[in-house]
Amino acid sequence: MIIDCAHYQDGRRHDEGAVPLEEAAARCKTGGFAWLGLYEPTEAELAQVRDTFGLHELAVEDAQSFHMRPKTELYDRDVRLVILRTARYDDAAEEVEFGEISVFIAPTFVITVRQGVASELRGARQRLEQRPELLAAGSTAALWAILDQVVDNYAPVVAGLERDIDQIEATVFSGTVAPTERIYSLRREATDFYRAVHPLLGVVTTIDRASDAPQLQPYLRDVHDHLLLVNEEVAAQRDLLGTVLEANMAVISVEQTKVSVRQNTTMEQLTILATVFLPLTFITGFFGQNFGWLVGHIDGPVAFVVYGIGGLVVPLALLFHWLRFRAVRSGTAVPVDHR
């Protein structure tokens, strides 16, 4: 879909509305440059643009593909293709949504092809139209305006990631376990964002060196400085998320240790209880047998006390002394000679 097509000369736009492609291409032969904006164009629209402006077929094919990294390539007739990754942060889903802008730039035209979630370039066009001294520099001024807007839109993404990372960091370092899946997800988003930002530094440097407009070089260096700051912040966020992930695993390990200690304590108590009842189980089982001698001889209070109560007290006393002896042995320290 064609968003806008305009012809610029001597630092101003000649028409209020969009200009037909053939007319814009014809005007470029007499001076100035045309700026054509496309959003998710069809193959037929791209074929028309290719035939009208004489674009290389490989460049057009490259613009139809979705790239993971920004890049720049120089084709014949001084036509350069610049691939930019745009980004927008979804706070609800905690995800970075990416888009792409393919920019065909030549001395006589600038063609932008936007795919996916792309930043709005209307603001870049309007801002440049209000700067006739920059617009007079030619098509490179349009490329600067696009780069400036794309890099400016990286700042909200950095801020959105920073908010969520601060929440997770506060949770983990307070001793509370944070969802590991959330940390992994944010680290993946930060890594993908880094892959969109870091290669763009080389692209901006190449454009700055290839620019033949001295008045634009300070502005291109300003874009490079902003991009460098974003790159450093994203790299720091990725490293911080790695540290937070390790700290969260340590907190999980401590929690698991606490659970194991509680389970061991419970098992120890149950073992002691079962051991205490073991003599009682033996006595009741033994004297509950219907042997003639047992039935005939254990029939008075004295026999009950000696065999019954004594059979319980003696094993319990022996068990108590045995457990105490083991506890003393396990807690005995080696004497230290202070001489």
Which residue has tokens 């997770």?
168
Task: Write down the H helix ranges in 92-210.
Answer: 122-129, 132-135, 139-152, 154-172, 180-210
Sorted by sequence, the CB contacts under 8 Å of residue 146 that are 6+ apart come out as: 84, 101, 103, 112, 121, 124
242 three-state secondary structure: helix
Residue 108: pLDDT above 50?
Answer: yes
Beta-sheet pairing, 33-39 with 71-74: unpaired
* Residue 333 is assigned to a structural domain of this protein: no
The pLDDT of residue 15 is: 82
DSSP H or E stretch at residue 58 = helix 57-64
- Do residues 34 and 82 both lie within one domain? yes
34 occurs within a structural domain: yes
Residues 285 and 145 in one domain: no
Structural domain of 32: 2-253
Residues 115, 255: Cα–Cα separation, whole Å:
47
Q: Which of 238, 253, 268 is the last residue before a domain boundary? A: 253
User: Are 10 and 30 part of one and the same domain?
Assistant: yes
Q: Which residue has the higher pLDDT, 333 or 77?
A: 77
How far apart CA 255 and CA 266 sit, in angstroms, is: 17
pLDDT average, residue stretch 115-137: 86
Query: Is 330 a member of any domain?
Result: no
- Rounded-to-integer distance, Cα 146 and Cα 118, Å: 11
Structural domain count, the chain: 2
275 and 203 part of one domain: no
Quick: pLDDT tens for 3-13: 889 999 988 88
Both 46 and 122 in one domain: the answer is: yes
> What are the phi and psi torsion angles at 44 (to 5°)?
-65, -40
Over residues 64-79, mean pLDDT = 84
37 & 114 share domain: yes
Residues 212/108/128/62 CA torsion (nearest 10 deg): -90
Task: Judge if 92 and 130 occupy the same domain.
Answer: yes
Instruction: Give backbone dihedrals phi and psi of 168, rounded to 5 degrees, phi first.
Output: -65, -40
Q: Which of 5-9, 16-20, 308-312 is least confident? A: 308-312
Does residue 222 form part of some domain? Answer: yes
- Whether the per-residue pLDDT at 235 is higher than 80: the answer is yes
Q: What is the pLDDT of residue 333?
A: 43
Q: Which tokens sit at 82?
A: 């610049």
**In-domain check, residue 233:** yes
Whether 39 maps to a domain, the answer reads yes
Q: Select from 207, 237, 253 the last residue of a domain.
A: 253
Give the orientation angle of helix 217-287 with respect to helix 310-330, to 10 degrees.
Answer: 150
In a domain, 334, yes or no: no
**Same domain assignment for residues 38 and 155:** yes
58 shares its domain with 80: yes
pTM: 0.75
pLDDT at 337 over 80: no
Q: Which contacts qualify for 188-193: CB closer than 8 Å, 24 or more apart?
A: 189/94, 189/95, 189/96, 189/161, 190/161, 190/234, 190/237, 190/238, 190/241, 191/238, 192/96, 192/98, 193/87, 193/96, 193/157, 193/161, 193/234
Supply the pLDDT for residue 334: 44
Residue with the bigger pLDDT between 188 and 213: it is: 188
Q: Is residue 332 part of a domain?
A: no
Residues 6+ apart with CB under 8 A from 295: none
Lowest mean pLDDT among 36-50, 220-234, 253-267, 302-316: 302-316
Whole-angstrom Cα distance, residue 316 to residue 322?
A: 10
Q: Which residue, 253, 277, 299, sits at the end of a domain?
A: 253
CATH of the domain at 134: 3.30.460.20
- If asked whether residues 171 and 269 sit together in one domain, one would say no
Tens digit of each residue's pLDDT (9 = 90 or more) over 139-170:
999 999 999 999 999 999 999 999 999 998 88
Strand partners, 84: 101
